[in-house]
Amino acid sequence: MEQNRVIKVSMLLDDELNEEEALSLLEQIESDDGLKEKWFRYNTASLAIKSDSIVVLEADLVDKVRQAIAREPAVFSTPASTGKPSRIYNVFAGALAASVVIVAVIVVKQPADTGGDAATMVADKGVESLLHQAQPAEAKSSEARFHGYLLNHNESAYSMGTLGMLPYARVVSYGAKQQ
Amino acid sequence: MRYPFFNASSRLVAILLGCLLAHNALAEESTEAAAKQLLTAMMEAMKSLSYQGTVAYMWDDKIETLRVFHAFNDGVEQKRIVALNTPMREVVLNADKLACYFPDARTVLIENHPSRHSFLVNLPEDLDEHMKQYRFSLGGREFILQRQAQIVRIVPKDDFRYKRTFWIDLETKLPLQFELINENGNRVEQMVFTSLSIKDSIPARDLKATTEVDEATWQIRYREPKPAKEQAIEFQWLPDGFRQVLYTQHKMPGSAWPLDHVLLSDGFASVSVYLEKFDGDSVPLNKFTHGGVRTYTKKLGTYQITVMGEVPAKSVRAIGDGIRVHAPEE
């Protein structure tokens, strides 16, 4: 029985369950700490392997990532034709994202280590969207409304030239589904 | 006359103190002028240089990595910013058309003739107009991306707004790092270039949207401002320097009523006010935040008012509590 549920967790991550089974399993995950732990572990590993997504399961992780960023090779280059000193480093655009994943995977802990409350964890969009499915409709509605308002605020503020910093950084990076 | 020495000394001390204060005031004025000059140069550099880079954008305890492309050819700006991670949202400005692609929501927002502002940092054109609310100052110099950067601070004179700090590259004048600091001195948002290249030109392919829009399944939205006289929101009080810059209406998914939206700004910070008619219970959003963005929700009769913006919680509350709703003019 337990083995079946673990297999289903794996199938859920591979998107192999139908909607009814997925919702049923997510309900079980919400109420079963052991299953929740497995789900987070599998999901974290899956995300780290499959993508450049950021998985943050520790409150102080961001500081560690900031430190990692500070250690990243600095890259600044100017056109050769300007005649100015040029510092060109052979790195690729995803270097930061890759390093972030590496740091994240190293410091990932089990839910029990962070207080065991999945709701307090910060996860990436993949994790978040799955969590949303298990949230009460009211919470989903509030969050969807907030994100709709926020997106609209950022778009309008940018187009009117009134948003100070990285106006569209917020637009392209806000953390949950809009609707 | 009993203590001529002390009288003379006192006068001398007073004169010296006066000179010192005047000198400090002049020095402060000078550093403020230099700070404003550098910020103005930064705005010009962001507009007139062609560059591309990778930016780490941090808010709360999250990090997003973005690619930024900016080209300036024959007086025309082209820009593209794209998130490197799922859901790969991107924003493209080409000539007079701004398009925001949201693959997760299968939506593209199109705006014709958008204002010409930077993708990175927007500041008011005339900083002198905002000296009643903000103080500008120079900090030290630090190395970012192995480039020498000058620190410039924009500090509010009251507690209705946040502090901003820039690290401006001394050679190119581009902002290499930026921080938004809340009323408690905590950094709530930060952007830092992790790579940056100044180019003679940016390849056309890097300035084009990579998102494919299927018009059959995607929603294409257009935004049109509406005359302020039609709005039902009235402000009884606003923090000093804030003024209304936009009124528009939207249709929210699942709602039968239009959503009224008013945008306020003091030139640096922006605050949105939403008015929505509700049949049932309101949906309080006070607990939601995003970086420096704070939210306040209030029920007024059959309406719900939501105020959100990158200002302290006390500001969104004060603005929300000063709102009245009236029937718009026909």
- The CA distance from A174 to B31, in Å, is 37
Q: A172, A177, A178, A179: which to substitute to probe chain B, counting the most B Cβ within 10 Å?
A: A172
H or E element, residue B59: strand B50-59
At residue B25, the pLDDT reads: 67
pLDDT at residue A110 greater than cutoff 50: no
Contact at CB, B145 and A56, closer than 8 angstroms: no
* Chain A residues with beta carbon closer than 8 angstroms to that of B66: 166, 169, 172-173
Residue B152 half-sphere exposure toward CB, CA atoms < 13 A: 27
Does A59 contact B at CB distance below 8 Å?
Answer: yes
Strand B187-199, strand A75-77: pairing: parallel
At residue A53, the pLDDT reads: 34
CB B302 within 8 A of CB B296: no
Q: What single DSSP character describes residue B210?
A: -
* Chain A residues with beta carbon closer than 8 angstroms to that of B84: 52, 93-94, 97
Contact at CB, A156 and B261, closer than 8 angstroms: yes
Each residue of B99-127: pLDDT tens digit? Answer: 888 777 777 877 765 555 566 666 787 88
- The CA distance from B110 to B97, in Å, is 7
* Chain B residues with beta carbon closer than 8 angstroms to that of A46: none
* Chain B residues with beta carbon closer than 8 angstroms to that of A127: none
Coil, helix or strand at residue A127: helix
- The CA distance from A59 to B71, in Å, is 38
Nearest-by-Cβ selection for B270 from A126, A162, A175: A162
Closest residue in A to B171 (Cα–Cα): A84
Q: Give whichever of A10-14, A42-46, B156-160, B220-224 has the largest mean pLDDT.
A: B156-160
Closest residue in A to B62 (Cα–Cα): A62
At residue B150, the pLDDT reads: 97
Q: What is the dihedral of CA A20, A22, A23, A27, to 10 degrees?
A: 140
At residue B9, the pLDDT reads: 75
At residue A16, the pLDDT reads: 65
Domains of chain B: 40-207 (2.50.20.10), 225-325 (3.30.200.100)
Other CB atoms within 10 Å distance of the CB of residue B38: 18
- Give CA A30 to chain center in angstroms: 19
Measuring CA to CA, how many Å separate A168 from each of A152, B89, B293?
11, 10, 14
* Chain B residues with beta carbon closer than 8 angstroms to that of A171: 89, 91, 100
Contact at CB, A145 and B114, closer than 8 angstroms: no
- The CA distance from A41 to B328, in Å, is 55
Nearest-by-Cβ selection for B195 from A82, A91, A166: A91
At residue B118, the pLDDT reads: 61
- Its ipTM equals 0.75
- The CA distance from A72 to B145, in Å, is 9
Shortest Cα distance from A139 to chain B (angstroms)?
9
At residue A169, the pLDDT reads: 59
pLDDT band for position A101 (cuts 50, 70, 90): very low
Residue A28's closest CA among A47, A6, A13?
A6
Shortest Cα distance from A93 to chain B (angstroms)?
7
At residue B134, the pLDDT reads: 95
Nearest-by-Cβ selection for B119 from A79, A167, A179: A167
**Parts of chain B with a pLDDT under 50:** 329-330
Q: What is the torsional sign of CA B95, B97, B98, B99?
A: negative
Which B residues in the span 204-263 are in contact with A, Cβ-Cβ below 8 Å?
223, 245-246, 248, 250, 252-253, 261, 263
Tokens standing for residue B57:
């954008």
Q: What is the torsional sign of CA B170, B145, B120, B186?
A: negative
Q: What single DSSP character describes residue A117?
A: -
pLDDT at residue A92 greater than cutoff 80: no
